[in-house]
Chains A and B, each alone.
Chain A
Amino acid sequence: MSSVAYKQADYKSDVKPIWCPGCGDYHVLMSFGRAFAQLGLPPEQIAVISGIGCSSRIPAYTNCYGFHGVHGRSLALAAGLKVTRPDLTVVVASGDGDGYSIGGNHFLHACRRNIDMTYVVMDNHIYGMTKGQPSPTTEPEFDTALSPGGTRVRPFHPLVVALASGANFIARCFSGDPNQTADVLAEAIKHPGFSFIEILSPCVTFRPDEKAWKDQVHPAPVTETSDQGKAARRLMTDDGFNIGILYRGTRTPYQPAAGATNIDLSELEKDFEL
């Protein structure tokens, strides 16, 4: 922990967000700064990694190191970074399209691999950047140009999938409460292994109905658990608006052992010598 005291503003860049006025992601950005300041992390020791979508724009709005990569692959990119640079704090930012649709397979394997990083998915149940198509978390009856009359497809349940796949920390936050989100984010970063936070972050442009989320969210009426069975029941019967830390596991994070670095490379040639 650094001896320098950091403020939320120290983590903000001078790049102006492209987000719509009222977008939930502004508050997530604020929570990032608060959590990092709370932990006293030097900005240059943090890497914020993302894919494509509105939420994935967040790295450039921080004053941390960032990577705005291709659609859906942020977790893989972050895995390569973290195993080679375990000294860095790695936070991955994604959305429901980027993280659960195109990036769905990487989500499973990131949970399973349990590398020490924090995965934040800003879920607004819609593709915002492409102007309102249904995502894996969109309600079946929600009408869009691409799905007239609704998708009639059951939404994806990211928290259950995370638990089943081996995530070591599972929480849900609401972007409209940046203080609580910052506290949970700080806990997630501190917790060893793969931490997953689903942040309900309304899209005011294509889902104006989500403005009502602020009245629907409520603190989860449960205490934290490290019991997977209990967590499974809790998440399967969840109403989608329980806010808080829902599971805190005890798995040992994956970090490949680093070998010596001063080896004479001719050692490796011995396999080949006649």
Chain B
Amino acid sequence: MAASRSISIAIIGSGGAGALTTVDSLLETAAAAGWQGLFTRTMGPQIRGGEAAGLLRLAVDPVESLPDRFDLMIGIDWLNAHRFGAEIKAGNQTLVISDPRGGDLPPMVTQSGARVVEIAMKEMAKAIPDGRPNMIALGIAGRLLGFTVEQAFAPIAKRLADKGPAAIEASLAGIKVGFGAAAGIDFGVQLAAPKPSKVRRWLLSGNEATALGAIRGGIRFAAAYPITPATEILEWLAPNLTKVGGTLLQAEDELAAINMIIGASYGGTPALTATSGPGLSLMIEALGLATSAEIPIVVVDVMRGGPSTGIPTKSEQGDLNIAIYGMHGDAPHLVLAPQSVGDCVFTTQWATYLAEALQAPAIILSDQFMGQSRAAIERPADVAFIGARSIASEISGPYMRHAMTANGVSPMAIPGTRGGQYTADGLTHSERATPTSGAADHLAQLDKRRDKLDRFNFGDHWASVEGAGDLAVITWGSLTGAAREAIALAAADGIDARMVAPRLLAPVLPERMAAALAGVKRILVVEQTHGGQFNKFLRAHYDLPAPVRVFNRPGPLPITAGEIHRAIAVWR
């Protein structure tokens, strides 16, 4: 049997069948045994009764993207599986486990040439008191992946700890039956042994990572309005902010949420809200206010398919334009994008630090793929970026809230400070913060707000710049992992490519980009938008020194390393 550095599994069922729980616990089992992994959920909009699939990739090395084809596919049932269309691909090497009473095989299986093995999971579950077919599936998958019953059962036992012995017994019995059912099956692939790791290892979602990064960066207030797929950030912050002396307030809408965080930050408390595209659209006016009044705030946009309500449960990078250009007037602000589940910790922490240092709003563009995936990763390193704004504490004479300074940042008086009274304003104002409609003050403050961003030294974190090949792949956000993997695949074909993935999208850093692209002969821009927003953004702000091709397509299908690899291979 061949030892593979990566194995991928898809478990599919109707919503409520427990496919997601099954895959989540497989990830936990594999993570506990030392492998790295990524679990992506894909589902329709229904809360129950729709289609749901857990997509899992386990590997020896860090996993940040999904495969082109799955090695193992288990259909607990196929009732709504056709709705996934091309989203979950099987190939002629795929092993498909199917319940003969689970409905017709979907075209993605029948058209693939995959080997299909029938196991009557429902029947088997019925024979166990309180038995559930997804536990049979877990047993099958556990056996095929080479785990023991105990390993496969451990995460389930933890989950069911408060459900009583009957539920635990039923699950264990189901897993054992699944193990038995898989006994004679030759999977044909085996995961290579995990690398020993000295670093502590974590299992978390991108949304949880984002929330942790926020607290690490100093966020102590969050305003919350629920929206898919960002809600988990707020749900994690609700109990955890309280633990660190912070507060979360549920807002009546996104208009309130953004204004609440502006109010909290004006009072001296670093503040954040999290939303998705429709919410960001509502927040734009107040983001302009925070820019004008120089109030630091952090807004996380976990992007989903758009425009309008779009595809709430699936990923896309289509909010780039609104994040960069959404505000009316000239409104320089920060836009950042994390590059992986683990990087959500760093990027959110850094964004908080930058917002506070520059007294400007920061928009973080995460996405559904990263936000709602759970990954087994090495613990992200501690970094020193803790938000600390310039504060005016000893004030004598008239307080100049928006005073001209060498770096463009003016010390901020926090309410309660004697002599620092001023009125923060969205109106064009003087250094003293007094409203004015004069040309000189208008220009001076526009210059100040631009210059404070332009003069800041963002350091090496602005982008992931890797390799030195003739061909540069420029990408961003959650596609960074797939691009990195594609470049490794291309290297095996003898193509030497480099990657430039900006973590900081605004302000733009032309000199840094020029250095990163020095000597390139060909450029491939990779993005998940329909309109090529990132390509247009790059062309507007950067001199790209070589011919450019663009590989872009919209969601909801995740862009895989294989697709990017093929785009690299034909661009020579």
Contact = CB atoms under 8 A, between A and B. Distances in A.
Nearest to B248: A256
Contacts of A256: 242, 247-249
B425 A68 contact: yes
Contacts of B426: 68-70
Interface in A253-274: 256-261, 263, 265, 267-269, 271-274
A54 B434 CA distance: 16
A15 B421 CA distance: 13
Interface stretch (A84-92, A195-203, A237-245): A84-92
Secondary structure of the B contact surface, majority rule? mixed
Nearest to B285: A70
Given A80-B260, A257-B242, A106 B252 contact: yes
A49 B223 CA distance: 18
B331 to A, nearest CB: 13
A261 B376 contact: no
B415 A88 contact: yes
Sorting the interface of chain A by its residue count into under 10, 10 to 19, 20 to 34 or 35 or more gives: 35 or more
Interface in B394-420: 413, 415-420
Interface string B413-440: 1011111111111110000011100000
Interface in B86-125: none
Given A256-B249, A259-B244, A274-B203, A85 B256 contact: no
Interface stretch (B264-272, B447-455, B524-532): B264-272
Given A59-B423, A60-B423, A80-B249, A274 B262 contact: no
Contacts of B242: 256-257, 259
A149 to B, nearest CB: 33
Contact of A261 (B208, B245, B289, B423): B245
Interface residues of B, number: 65
B421 A80 contact: no
Interface stretch (A21-29, A37-45, A176-184, A228-236): A37-45
Given A44-B417, A85-B416, A76 B251 contact: yes
Given A81-B266, A106-B252, A263 B245 contact: yes
A260 to B, nearest CB: 6
Given A63-B421, A87-B416, A263 B202 contact: no
Give the interface centre of A258, A269, A272 by most chain B CB atoms within 10 Å: A272
B425 A60 contact: yes
B568 interface: no
B144 interface: no
A267 B243 contact: yes
A260 B242 CA distance: 8
Contacts of A85: 267-269, 415-416
Contacts of A49: 263
B263 A81 contact: yes
Q: Which 7 A-B pairs have the closest CB atoms?
A: A80-B263, A66-B423, A80-B260, A261-B245, A76-B256, A81-B263, A77-B263
Interface of A: 13, 15, 42-45, 47-49, 59-60, 63-70, 72-85, 87-88, 105-106, 108-109, 256-261, 263, 265, 267-269, 271-274
29 contacts: A44-B417, A44-B418, A45-B416, A60-B423, A60-B434, A60-B435, A67-B263, A70-B285, A76-B252, A77-B262, A79-B249, A80-B261, A80-B263, A83-B249, A84-B221, A84-B268, A258-B245, A260-B243, A263-B243, A268-B243, A269-B202, A269-B212, A269-B379, A271-B208, A272-B202, A272-B212, A272-B379, A273-B201, A274-B201
